[in-house]
Amino acid sequence: MDIDTRLLRYFLAVADAENLPRAAQRLHVAQPALATQIKQLEQQLGVELFIRSRAGWTLTAAGKVMSEQIPELLASWDRILRDTKSDASRASRMLRLGCVNSAADGHIPEIIQVFHRLHPDWQVDIHQGGWTEPTAGLDEGDVDVALLRLPFPGQEQYHVRELFAEPRWIALPADHPLAGRDDIAFRELWDEPYVASPAETGWWRDYWMGLDSRPADTAIIGAMARSTDEWLRAIANGFGVSFTPASNARNAYPGVVFRPVHGIGPTRVALVWPDASEADPVVRYFVRCCTDIMGGHHSELFGGQDGRRTS
């Protein structure tokens, strides 16, 4: 029997929380999707793992056996994957860097240039994470270190060094009634339809609809997008609006305007690495490069646009 380790991780999260909503929040996934994954695991095993009630989810006898043995199994598997991939990258003198979309794009060439001066025999292989991959390969052990937007699923498992924060702006169709404004109140956007990432991205999708900063736990979905191009086209065609990092406002797109918003918290970018990379001197040098370059010049990421409209 082959079982996806992701299902086992979901099981442990629910077992620890004893509550589906809390587990979904920790995992940054939607509750219905999490419930479906747990049911799938139970069907594969042929046993019931939880007793479900209004008071919460409690483990059955079979579930207790699983919860006691699965952590060690997953820890061993993660260690095997990371060690194997890490050893291969060291042998080829390759530092594997993961990046989520727009996380310090403007500084990556400078970071790599400085790193090459310190380690001319090493190359940097960049893995660009997609919209449904908020850890950009960290979870799979495919990268040694990553530039990510906080928070992300499983963040507590990693070493995190926050580099900077930047405002969340709103991307609007050019003919939207608010497009002519220099500044928009967050409250004015609550009832707007949003162009969102797919449902399986869970908390990540909610965050970029501003649900972390408002009383309601749902928003109107005008369209879904799986890539930046789809996202921009949907906004330009009037299907909805969407929050975005202020630095994205530098990228002009026909039919889309970007405006500052007050009343919503910023997005944060951090350098993240696993325990397996902590003792690696090459990773430590790379961390230092990022900290020196981005920590000292993070305001440049906004291109002088902070507080100004961009169309």
Q: How many domains does the chain have?
A: 3
pLDDT in tens, 232-267: 999 999 999 999 999 888 888 999 999 999 999 999
- Tally of CB atoms within 10 A around 4: 12
176 and 253 together in one domain:
yes
* Residue 284 placed within a domain: yes
173 and 244 together in one domain:
yes
186 and 249 together in one domain:
yes
- pLDDT for residue 305 is more than 70: no
Q: What's the rounded Cα separation, in Å, for the pair 188 and 135?
A: 32
Task: Domain of residue 34: give its range.
Answer: 5-76
**Interior angle at CA 89, CA 88 and CA 92, nearest 5:** 90
Res. 304 pLDDT band, cuts 50 70 90: very low
User: So what's the pLDDT on residue 194?
Assistant: 97
Q: What's the rounded Cα separation, in Å, for the pair 5 and 11?
A: 10
50 and 104 together in one domain:
no
* Residue 86 placed within a domain: no
Q: Tell me which residue of 151, 124, 125, 148 sits closest to 136, measured CA to CA.
A: 148
Calculate mean pLDDT across residues 168-197. Answer: 96
Res. 300 pLDDT band, cuts 50 70 90: very low
Q: Which of 33-42, 75-84, 110-119 has the highest mean pLDDT?
A: 33-42
Calculate mean pLDDT across residues 132-146. Answer: 84
Contact 285, 118 (CB under 8 A): yes
- pLDDT for residue 105 is more than 70: no
Q: What's the rounded Cα separation, in Å, for the pair 246 and 265?
A: 12
pLDDT in tens, 15-50: 998 888 888 877 767 788 899 999 999 999 999 999
Q: Tell me which residue of 284, 282, 299 sits closest to 124, measured CA to CA.
A: 282
Per the listing, tokens 């646009």 go with 305
